[in-house]
Chains A and B, each alone.
Chain A
Amino acid sequence: MASTEEVFERKQTNLKEITPSTEITSEGAFRDNVIVQEKPKKIIKIVRAGLINIRYSIETALVIAKKEILMILRYPWEIIFWTLMPLMWLVPFVFQGQALVGSALQSENFANLAGTTNVLEFIFIGALMWNIVDSAIWGAGNALRWEQHSGTLQYLWLAPISRINLMIGASLGSTIWSLIEIVGQFALLSIFVSWQVTFVDVVVTLLVLVLVIIGLYGFSFAFAAVILVFKEPGVFTEFVDSALYICSPVRYPTQVLPNWAKWIAWVIPFSWGLSAVRLLLMTNDSIISMLYMVGIIAAIDFIFWIGGYFLFLLAERKTLKQGDLGAF
């Protein structure tokens, strides 16, 4: 057991190392001094550590995203194929619409529900935006399963990085992939539709898109958590994809859905994002009139992130505890 003098001497030495110029007269003064002298240093240290952490997190996410993009670029036909395919899926809807309401594809009933008579633009924007959800489900949500298929999951898991950063990186890669598709499809659809958009509309649309994407990241974490536990994602992915597609206003306004399905649509940030983008690109409404939508998206984003994050941590802990992370 060290004596009081010894403790005092040790503390004094420590203090001298930190602040050699500080003069100490009594133990009480010493304690006060320590607080006064160490607090700013500690805060700086914490802030610095936090910044370094954020930097590493960004670096890790970017490395993972780069890996994903490099893999995509190895299959250039995939990009062309997946840019064209959603447009091919649109054709039957156009012909069906013409068979039901005439070749002009103008419907009064549709206008009452959607606020626009332009069915063609409505479904085109829906198709463009659906790419984001598709990539969140099939790309980011299934990212860990794809790693498992290619035999690299364990290596990534052993790397001294946060698993969430791993997911953010995968989501980032998927987002870039879907943005490439959207730009390509937008260019092709412009042949058939003359978009009446201003520069401000484009900027606000991009901001809304970013908000929607952030929310879907949270959704991807939750999705990845389920896959981490249940492994084979086929059925789950298919089900979520179909359910979201039916309940989202991709091809039709949500007003036409039964009440229970409307509730599902309301809790998906994508539905609000899509409505906001349509409002911007298809009507002359001011940005202020859609600010409440942006607020709702931000609130849902927050809930999705918190929920997704904790669900992912829970799933990770469960799989590690059970030792079936590597189980195929």
Chain B
Amino acid sequence: MTRSIRTTRALALSSGALVALLALSACGSRTDDEASSTSAASCVKTDGDSIKIGFLNSLSGTMAISEQTVRDALDLAAEEINAAGGVLDKKLEIVAEDGASEPTVFAEKAEKLIKSDCVAAVFGGWTSSSRKAMLPVFESNKSLLFYPVQYEGLEASPNIFYTGATTNQQIIPAMDYLKEQGVTKVFLVGSDYVFPRTANKEIIAYSEANGIEIVGEEYAPLGHTDFSTIVTKLKGSGAEAVFNTLNGDSNVAFFKEYKNVGLTAETTPVVSVSIAEEEVGGIGVDNIVGQLTAWNYYQTVESPQNATFVKAFKAKYGDDRVTSDPMEAAYTSLYLWKGMVEKAKSFDVADVQAAADGVTFDAPEGTVTVNGDNHHIAKTALIGKIDADGLIYPVWESDGPIDPDPFLEGYDWAEGLS
């Protein structure tokens, strides 16, 4: 026995030495070696009669509920583009991946799409954490991501195009609306993660500058299901309106509690920024009817483009399906990429980036324009009211499309926020 221990120890030592040796021999370059720090050249194939693009959405895990709808909209757009002859006469070839609702998986799959599948661009992501996880991957590999969801702003990567709203196209207009309605006391409730905390920081700065009092700020852990304490605090705060940045299941518990303690949309309206058409059914229409939402698109938007979009979507996926803002933004993102590529006459990332500024698309939400500086798009803000039929109808809209301002540089009160 003792002999075997000694041998093992010797083995452990020698294998340790082996590892150290290998590690030393393997380490090629240090950071200061500027020359070798460039990454491998793009492997995108552009000589065939098709071009590969990647779709990366969570099809499993907690986010699958939302992200599956985005995937459906992307598939619809790809189908339409291929039916109309493709992009630069090349058919789109889709490489689909599952992000599994985990940031690490998003990073891993993004790298796979870029390096192994050699896609020209990737479309997808939903949560801020998935985007933050993918960002370094796209920057270091010099590839492109189209991100279709409203988010907390304070970001502008040259390798990401943001086709959802940034805060000055959604949250600030919502506050403008509340101010116009004469609201002076607002209560903030949100899930405990990046988007609500950042959004609320901006709302607080806005309120200070506009004479609105914030009478409470509460965060619930993700997946929290008991809102009796938070609603008690809310009820006692004298709030005239509630700004809701809760995420997912928590909304259901919150609105049921809200209704049960006798609060109503007439006396204390709730403005939500994460509730779209497909969530209304799960919350229960009678629990949420009359409440407000802030988005840039609703299924009820009246335009010929939207009529076509909704009709095509229902034809493909069934009459009971609804369309929502992130879906529309995803659908639009594919067409915007097509526009950029056709303007650049090239699939090369640098050419696409250079051609991006000013590319427009007559989207279902209205005409949108890409801002070449910050890679966001100009969008019109719409405040909507949830109706008894489960759809959301616009009750207010901004004066035309709002230019994207992710760092809120155009707002005096936002100084020192970022």
A binds B: no
